[in-house]
Amino acid sequence: MDGLQAKFESVEDKTLRRKMARQAARSVLPNATETKIFVTANARALRHFIELRCNEHAETEIRMVAQQVLEIMQREAPNIFGDYEFVSLPDGTKAAQTPHGKI
């Protein structure tokens, strides 16, 4: 953990630096193995998931999953998910924003 925290020493916020180090550690531990899942959800639940997990405060891995879900839903149901826009983040990933949150 100390080595990973040193890697993120340029991050000023101590809490954010600790969270980033823990996230990096999780990605190399055995629980970061591939898992296949099957999910069912309605549009409201998907929008809620996207708003929570495709924003800048979510961990990188789940943000990437939420981004892929949103891209699929924008193709399949543009009337419901077309209001989301992707914004680039400093770490090279993207987050989604909408003016119509919490429907």
Domain ranges of the chain: 2-32, 43-97
pLDDT at 33: 65
Q: How is the chain split among helix, strand and coil, in percent rounded to 5?
A: 50, 10, 40
Residue type, 70: L
pLDDT digits (tens, 9 = 90+) for 2-55: 677 677 778 788 888 888 777 777 777 666 567 788 889 999 999 999 999 999
**Choice between 38 and 95, residue whose per-residue pLDDT is larger:** 95
Tell whether the model's pLDDT for residue 64 goes beyond 70: yes
Residue among 71, 64, 69 at smallest CA distance from 95? 64
**Choice between 85 and 31, residue whose per-residue pLDDT is larger:** 85
Q: What is the mean pLDDT of residues 65-72?
A: 95
Residues marked as catalytic: 53
Q: Which fold has domain 43-97?
A: Alpha-Beta Plaits (3.30.70)
